Structure 1
Amino acid sequence: MLQELFTPSVQHALDLAGIFVFAISGALLAVRKNFDVFGMAVLAEVTALGGGLLRDLIIGAVPPAAFTDLGYFLMPLVATVLVFFLHPVVERIQAGVNVFDAAGLGLFCVTGTTKAYEYGLGLTSSAVLGVATAAGGGVLRDVLANEAPSLLRWDRDLYAVPAIVGATMVALFIRFDSLNAFTSSLAALTAFAIRLLAMRFHWRAPRAWNRRSTATEEI
Structure 2
Amino acid sequence: MLLIVLELIGLAVFAASGALAAVRARLDVFGVVVLGLTTALGGGIIRDVLLGIHPPTSLRDWTYLVVPVAAALGVFGFHPQVARLRRAVLLADAVGLGLFTVSGTATALATGVPAYTACLIGMTAGIGGGAMRDLLLREIPLVLRREIYALASLAGAVVVVVGAKVGWPAAPVAVVSAAIVVAIRVLALWKQWNAPVARGLDR
Q: TM-score range by the shorter chain?
A: over 0.9
Report the counterpart of residue 103 of structure 1 in structure 2.
Answer: 95
Tell me if 1:19 matches 2:11: yes
CA deviation map 1:92-137 (0-9, x unaligned): 1121122122122112111111111211211111100000111100
Structure 2: distance between partners of 1:179 and 1:168? 15
In structure 1, distance between residues paired with 2:174 and 2:75 = 32
Letter in 2 for 1:212: G
User: For the residues of structure 1 that align with 2:170 and 2:7, how far apart are their CA atoms?
Assistant: 18
2:7–2:103 CA contact under 8 A, matched in 1:
no
TM-score (normalised: structure 1): 0.87
- Quote the residue 1:213 is aligned against: 201
Report what 1:5 is aligned to: none
> Is 1:92 the equivalent of 2:80?
no
Which 10-residue stretch deviates more, 174-183 or 65-74? 174-183
Matched, 1:143 2:135: yes
- 1:41 maps to 2:42: no
User: Does the alignment pair 1:119 with 2:111?
Assistant: yes
Cα 1:177–1:13 change in 2 (3 A) is closer
Please tell me whether the aligned partners of residues 24 and 44 of structure 1 are also in contact (alpha carbons under 8 angstroms): yes
User: 5+ unaligned residues in a row in structure 1: which ranges?
Assistant: 1-7
Quick check: 1:170–1:179 contact (8 Å CA) kept in 2? no
Tell me the TM-score normalised to structure 2 length: 0.93
- What do you get for the CA RMSD once the two structures are aligned? 1.5
**Which of 177, 181, 199 lines up with 2:171 in the alignment?**
181
Structure 2 stretches lacking a partner, 5+ long: none
Taking the aligned partners of 1:182 and 1:78, their CA distance within structure 2 comes to 29
Q: Percent identity?
A: 40
Q: Per-residue CA shift, 1:48-104, capped at 9, x if unaligned?
A: 010001101111122211111111101121122112221111101121122122122
